[in-house]
Amino acid sequence: MRTWLLARVHLGPLAVLFALTLSACLLVAGLPRATESAYDQALQRALTGAPGVQTDLTVTVGSWSPALDLRERAQFDTRDRLWHEILPAGLRPLVTGPGHASAKTTLTPIAGTGGSSYLNVGWLSDADRRVEWVRGRAPGASSTMRYEGETIPVFEAGIVDEAEREMGLGIGKTTVIGEHDYAAVKIVGIFRAKQPDDRYWSHHNDLVHVLKQQPPGSLDFEKHATALLSDAGLAVLSGEGRNLAYRWTLPLDPRGATALAVPGLLDDVAEFGRVVDVQSNGPVSPYRLETGLPNLLTGFQAELSTAQTVMSLVLGGLLAVALGVIVLALQLLADRLDHTLSLARARGGSLAQVARTAAGLTAVAVVPGAVAGYALSYLVPGPVLPIVHAGPVFVVLVAVGFAAARLALAHRTPLHERREDVATARPSARRITLEVLIVVLAVAGAYLLRARGLSASAGQDPFLLVVPVALTVAAALVTLRCYPYPLRLIVRLAARGRAAVPFLGLTRAARARAAAVLPVLILLPALAVSVFAAVVTDGIAGTQRLASWQQTGAPIKVTSEIEIPAETIDKIRAVPGVEQVVLAQRGQVQVGYGAERAEALAVDVAQWRSILADAPVSVPPLSEGVLVSPELRGRGTLDLGWQSRLKLPTRGVVESVPGFFTKGKFLIVPIGVQLRPAVNTLLIKGDADVAELAALAPSATVISQEGALAAIQEDPLTSTVRTTLAIVTAALAGYALLAVVLTLIVGAADRARAVSFLRTLGLSDRQAQRLTVLEIMPMIIVTALAGLCLGLALPAALGPGVDLSSYAGDLPVGDYSPDPVLPSALAAGLAVVAVLGAYVHTAISRRRSLGAVLRVGDLT
């Protein structure tokens, strides 16, 4: 048979096949690239946003004797080259820039302070590029001095102005450090970081800030500062008698990180740590690797696994529905070829010839469509995954294979005849048993998934991917087996009426042939996955809003480490958009008379509750007394030390305080109990400009609920999940509508023949339209309801297996309350398309003459 001639004759169905194949291949090849690109961006953002001390690779070794000391820059450079040489291949693309080395002491007390103040010394290999001297001069060579009868070294060093202010150090002052092996530090200059926000300084926060620590059981804080030495100071710095550590930092460049490489990066970091451990600087001084990169990658991998699971579910459903619509279009082509192939078989054509013709004719449409969709997918930025190549090939194989098998089975015998008066065949006992088994296994799988949760093994849990498929197949089987029975009951009721159209339309719907199975298998997963995606999207959106309020505790929150002046508060009240300002004081209080501490918030709770009237969070009412955290419950009246001694009775327990506390020991007190509240927090109602408020209070931090929500929503992984769900929902809705249209077209010839018969008996055009609607609407309505119920049930069934808290501000997404808008829109869209199709079909049938439809003898 001549394939190209058949292609010209059946150009319409082939054009539909081409368009469907193109869209399916574009989606199956383009969406994975887009999602993987977003995964890469999310990883790079996570690594970039983390401090350098967590992401960078730092090799460290201690020294406690002169034999282990490193006194020259060349010794550090030699080891730096070694670390780069032994770096695993997977890490080398990420460690592209030069590293730096440092030598620093720790826990070196200032003599005579009783351990309350510590002054360490440190050396940086790239200090000349990192700091600038604002007062005094850069340190030079060391000297010596006599102290308690001994000669001790005197290091020339520089400090930051914060250390000068907090520690009482100044230019020209010499400070003795140590407990027994003394040394002295002479301050000769004040420096500051050239780029204080550089991730580099997270490794050396002790050099640019004074660190305060509260020892266990103590009410006072220790102060720790580090002074910067020169190369000459390094030459006399020894680990003998003090805690001295050398570090080599290999900075990580997150721009080259990819999500696909995360498992390999974890292995490479472990391997690098193992190789570093076997290096030695002596018999008792091993090197070790310090990095927080594995923790960051492991946390990202957990978030990524959830995203991949959700994407696998929705993309798998999208691919199944797309293939179903393609198969429905192939059914249309098969019906058009039925007469031609029957004639060929009657004239001696072989079954192989029939299969080759069907496969070749299908390939004429689907191969160019697949190539076009595959080519267009390269316009989508992202890495080329195996699914990009395999997806279009799979679509082509399924389409060509189904066409060949379908027509070969239909024409396995020449001159095949079909009984027009038989609706359906009774299913065998074996088939019924298999279908019941599938339903039971699907329900049992959903129960087990909720009972056991996810597998603890790495990667995606296959059980999580199998259960939704099994539930969809089970729902389709139940729908197919059950929906004719209520229709037959309605038919019996319609038979008692005088109108013939309802009886005829519903009878044809109830006695639909096996061809009606395919639309059900397409519409049900399409609606189920789209409703599932919409419900999950709504659940994430609602939880994101809740998380943003819990992070801020007010429409706008202003916090400061120091007291906010009254004149600043007045200026803030006058800013356009500010409706109400609630004053608050946050601090740490002493519980009792011991060392127990708790976080406290003093605020007018009634005013605070008023600005949270429309928010999804709130706080219990409090007029007097104190609200405590669960860890402080059951203590009755609390004796607190905060500016003055306070005795306040416990009036309630709060699990968390929005905007302030989520765990630990904390409490809320009325702000009026303070003699003079030192206001350092403002809770603002209104839509004022955050930048303007920040300009009025430069020492404070200003955040808004809208800004916190935007930050959550703009996270690459979060936006990818929501965007992909939206795209899939729209695509599935489009495929569902196409399925309805194709269903009308596939049954058009048989329907036109039936309507033509009835027209000879006086059927009007309006009655013909009603007949067509009543014939197709039951299948659409029942399938839509089944898909809607399945889509609403899937989030609950998969609840413990899909943890979406990473995309909702670290709050668990558990509120999957259905939003009626999208399901109603989908159902309405399907109904409208069905009704319009009925009208179009009737209009086309009306223009045909009865002789074009009925053959001689049909009316006898």
Alpha helices in 511-663 (DSSP H): 517-552, 566-573, 605-611
Rounded to whole angstroms, the Cα distance separating 63 from 281 reads 9
Residue whose entry in the numeric block shows the structure tokens 């048993």: 433
The reported pTM is 0.74
The continuous run of DSSP H or E covering 720 comes out as helix 716-746
Q: How many residues does the chain have?
A: 860
∠688-693-694 over CA atoms, to 5°? 140
Residue whose entry in the numeric block shows the structure tokens 């609403």: 792
- Tell me the per-residue pLDDT of 25-66, one tens digit each, with 9 for 90 and over: 998 898 888 888 888 888 888 888 889 999 999 999 988 888
Residue whose entry in the numeric block shows the structure tokens 């056991």: 452
Rounded to whole angstroms, the Cα distance separating 265 from 248 reads 20
Pairing mode, strands 288-290 and 57-63 = antiparallel
66 three-state secondary structure: helix
User: φ and ψ at 372, to 5 degrees?
Assistant: -65, -45
Q: What is the pLDDT of residue 97?
A: 76
Q: What is the pLDDT of residue 504?
A: 76
Go through 30-45 and write b for each residue having 16 or more CB atoms within 10 A of its CB, e for each that does not: bbbbbbbbbbbbbbbe
Residues of the chain scoring pLDDT < 50: 420-423, 456-458, 514, 856-857, 859-860
Where along the chain do its domains lie? 57-290, 562-698
Q: Which residues contact 299 (CB under 8 A, 6 or more apart)?
A: none
- DSSP type of residue 848: S
User: φ and ψ at 447, to 5 degrees?
Assistant: -65, -45
Rounded to whole angstroms, the Cα distance separating 232 from 247 reads 18
- DSSP type of residue 285: -
- Tell me the per-residue pLDDT of 120-153, one tens digit each, with 9 for 90 and over: 999 999 999 999 999 999 999 999 998 888 889 9
Rounded to whole angstroms, the Cα distance separating 521 from 783 reads 9
Q: What is the pLDDT of residue 583?
A: 93
In 3D space, the residue among 702, 601, 711, 703 whose CA is nearest the CA of residue 656 turns out to be: 601
In 3D space, the residue among 185, 75, 56 whose CA is nearest the CA of residue 119 turns out to be: 185
In 3D space, the residue among 809, 559, 541 whose CA is nearest the CA of residue 690 turns out to be: 559
Q: What is the pLDDT of residue 456?
A: 45
Q: What is the pLDDT of residue 860?
A: 45
Rounded to whole angstroms, the Cα distance separating 706 from 549 reads 9
Q: What is the pLDDT of residue 455?
A: 53
Q: What is the pLDDT of residue 174?
A: 92
Would you list the DSSP string of 749-802? HHHHHHHHHHHHTT--HHHHHHHHHHHHHHHHHHHHHHHHHHHHHHHHHTGGG-
Q: What is the pLDDT of residue 738?
A: 81
